[in-house]
Amino acid sequence: MAKARTIFFCSSCGASSPKWLGKCSHCNEWNTYQEEIIQKETSTEEKRRSWGGSSRSEAPKAVRLQEVKTGKTIRLATPDQELNRVLGGGIVPGSLVLMGGQPGIGKSTLMLQVAMQVDARVLYVSGEESEEQIKMRADRVSKFRSECFILTETNTSKILQQAKDLQPQLMVVDSIQTMSTPHLDSAPGGIAQVRECAAELLRFAKETNIPIFLIGHINKEGDIAGPKLLEHIVDCVLQFEGDRHNTYRILRTLKNRFGSTDELGIYEMQSQGLREVSNPSELLLSQKDEELSGCAVAATMEGMRPMLIETQALVSKAVFGTPQRSATGFDMRRLSMLLAVLEKRCGYYFSINDVFLNLAGGIRVEDPGIDLAIVSALISSLIDVSIPSDICFAGEVGLSGEIRAVQRVEQRIAEAARLGFKEIYVSKYGMKGIDPKRHDIRIQTLGKVEELKRALFV
Ligand code: TYD
Ligand code: MG
């Protein structure tokens, strides 16, 4: 037998090298290179035999796609509607779900709540907290509905043995970084350990059909440790995010083999645990009586959900030579771009001013449909003229000052009307197929940012 060809892969970022390296030149991690066989050396005779050989009975057979039998998978619905939505309609049997998030954001709380409330037998494995600590938290957050078992252990062999005896319908592992497998010598939390433990849990989930939730910490770059590895091992990747000084939390899907990745769950952290927020708009609009300059409401979409969010801008004279720019919940570069458009196209000069931008509720928005509201808030603050509080905006601003259409305009309009707004400004290019009479709100269309000036501020 000839020698097999091998290559070295970085287990952190997936980069490859023909030689072993101590430090990965891509992600600068140390000791992450591992050897893997990519091609076995075989003779031509062997190659020929591999497809023309005589042992046909042993060869696997391809099946017509139409003829593949599917049983109807019954998903385990949790009482938590937000989690069901994010998972695409409940927990799929035998699936491995990774939930990532920064420390203290509420991952353990959320999973404990689910473990206690779901109508099934659950095994909650914790490598981080003691049984008493978990019980104290459990008493605070929820009533027991399930048969919830706690196991404080970090050795995967012992955990899986216990799981086999208990036969739970759902398993939670808090957290994957504290687990260790006896088959490896390296320290827990290392990439080799994380990968091996996740692979063991995956095998167990697929063999027994027990769904497993893995909790994973996020490293300082904002990735789940060993990101590439875990991401393709697991079926679903959820991310729990939010501002620690704020009570709102967002659960996002980054990957889902059984549903869409457009979904979003919203929670509020209270003293009795996490509460589902089924109607986010009403919370994200700040309650105030008087109209102030610098505020504008955006009709945004987060995934498939319309959300109305208040944007606030403060433009004030710069004290120092270089004006400051600061944005929370919004991309700084995009803010600079919008300021440049306003200067160039509309003659509003921000270069001698500090500009601060804030989105209510500590929420981060990526939907470009928020641009129009931000532009309006900036102008409003600059010239100190308020925008009536029953107006909202949905539109993307392009580099030449044009207002572009955004997706799902009709849903945004409907949400604004439902919340009692009287007027919505949208792009005139996105009105195809929309009948204004169907909605109980005045729809104003704009083509350019300049028109905004005339419509609102004169
Ligand atoms: P935790 O679930 O331990 O976070 P993680 O597992 O992601 O590290 O949540 C810890 C934070 O949540 C802690 O700072 C306190 C807060 N919290 C509440 O505000 N209310 C509650 O009922 C609970 C259980 C926690
Ligand atoms: Mg925790």
- Reported as a single tens digit per residue, the pLDDT across 348-373 is 999 899 999 998 877 788 899 999 99
Does residue 244 share a domain with residue 373? no
The tokens for 364 are 């981060």
Contact 40, 50 (CB under 8 A): no
Q: Are residues 272 and 293 in the same domain?
A: no
Residue 250 Cα, ligand 1 centroid: separation in angstroms? 14
- Asked whether residue 361 falls in the same domain as residue 316, the answer is yes
Mean pLDDT estimate for the chain: 85
Write the CATH number for 213. Answer: 3.40.50.300
Atom nearest to 110 CA in ligand 1 = 2
Does the CB atom of residue 134 touch ligand 1 within 6 A?
no
| Mean pLDDT of all residues in 111-119 | 92
The verdict on residue 375 lying in a domain is yes
Answer with the one of 253, 276, 299 that is the final residue of a domain.
276
Q: Is residue 153 part of a domain?
A: yes
Regarding whether 418 and 287 lie in a shared domain, the answer is yes
Ligand closest in space to the Cα of 176: 2
Please indicate, yes or no, whether residues 287 and 420 belong to a single structural domain of this protein: yes
Q: Is residue 363 part of a domain?
A: yes
Dihedral of alpha carbons 285, 290, 295, 296, sign: positive
User: Residue 50: inside a domain, yes or no?
Assistant: no
Same domain (yes/no): 103, 201: yes
Whether residue 353 is contained in a domain is answered as: yes
Q: Where a domain ends, among 245, 276, 307?
A: 276
Q: Kindly identify the ligand whose nearest atom is closest to the C-alpha of 267.
A: 1
Residues 90 and 177 in one domain: yes
Ligand 2 centre from 260 Cα, in Å?
27
Q: How confident is the model at residue 222 (pLDDT cuts 50, 70, 90)?
A: low
Q: Is 177 in the pocket of ligand 1 (CB under 6 A)?
A: no
Q: What is the pLDDT of residues 384-416, one digit of tens each?
A: 999 998 899 999 999 999 999 999 899 899 989
Residue 181, in any domain of the structure: yes
The reported pLDDT for the residue numbered 430 is 85
Please say whether the beta carbons of 248 and 283 come within 8 A.
yes
Q: Which atom of ligand 1 is nearest to the CA of 109?
A: 2
Give the total number of structural domains in the chain.
Answer: 3
Domain that holds residue 1: 1-44
User: 253 vs 289, which has greater pLDDT?
Assistant: 253
| 263, 291: one domain | no
Residue whose entry in the numeric block shows the structure tokens 């509905």: 145
323 neighbors 335 (Cβ within 8 angstroms): no
- The reply to whether ligand 1 has any atom less than 6 angstroms from the CB of 100 is no
Whether 437 and 315 share a structural domain: yes
314 and 261 belong to one structural domain: no
My answer on whether 269 and 309 are in the same domain is: no
Does the beta carbon of 271 sit less than 6 angstroms from any atom of ligand 1? yes
- Report the nearest-CA residue for atom 21 of ligand 1: 273
Residues 167, 303 within the same domain = no
Give the model's confidence band at 226: pLDDT under 50 very low, under 70 low, under 90 confident, else very high: low
Q: Is the peptide bond before 146 cis (omega within 30 degrees of 0)?
A: no
**In angstroms, what is the span from residue 275 Cα to ligand 1's centroid?**
12
**Ligand 1 atom closest to the CA of 105, numbered from 1:** 7
